Amino acid sequence: MTSQYFNRHLSVGHYTVCVQASRIDDVELAEQGVVGDSDLDAGIIRVRSDLTRQRQREVVLHELLHHVVHMTHLEARWDEDEQEEVIRALSPWLAQLVTINNYEW
């Protein structure tokens, strides 16, 4: 599979998230042993470029849920482990239903 590098923006209400994949991101994420991550304060989601488009969408949705939790009262109610447990449980199901609009792959 060929890598696809990109830098896109998603709007969630008034909040904008930059979703990116680059050669540098690929190396850093691989070194961390993850396929994607988020910087909640900077509004950035990084995803590995060598994943299938479907897997990239799933990872982006998972990371986007972290941003949504960060914007709500749930961040104060759930510790990191609880947040991750809920997001891991919901994201595969939501990925089957949701098409992320305004996000050209």
Q: pLDDT tens across 48-66, in order? A: 999 998 899 899 999 999 9
Residue carrying structure tokens 């809920």? 86
Task: Report the share of the chain in percent with pLDDT over 70.
Answer: 90
Distance CA 87, CA 43 (A): 18
Element (H, E) at 87: helix 80-97
> In which band, very low, low, confident or very high, does the pLDDT at 79 lie, cut at 50, 70 and 90?
very high
Kindly state the tokens that stand for 85: 């447990």
Rounded to a whole number, what is the distance in angstroms from the first to the last CA of the chain?
Answer: 14
Tens of pLDDT, residue by residue over 19-46, are 999 999 999 999 999 999 999 999 999 9
Q: What is the pLDDT of residue 101?
A: 54
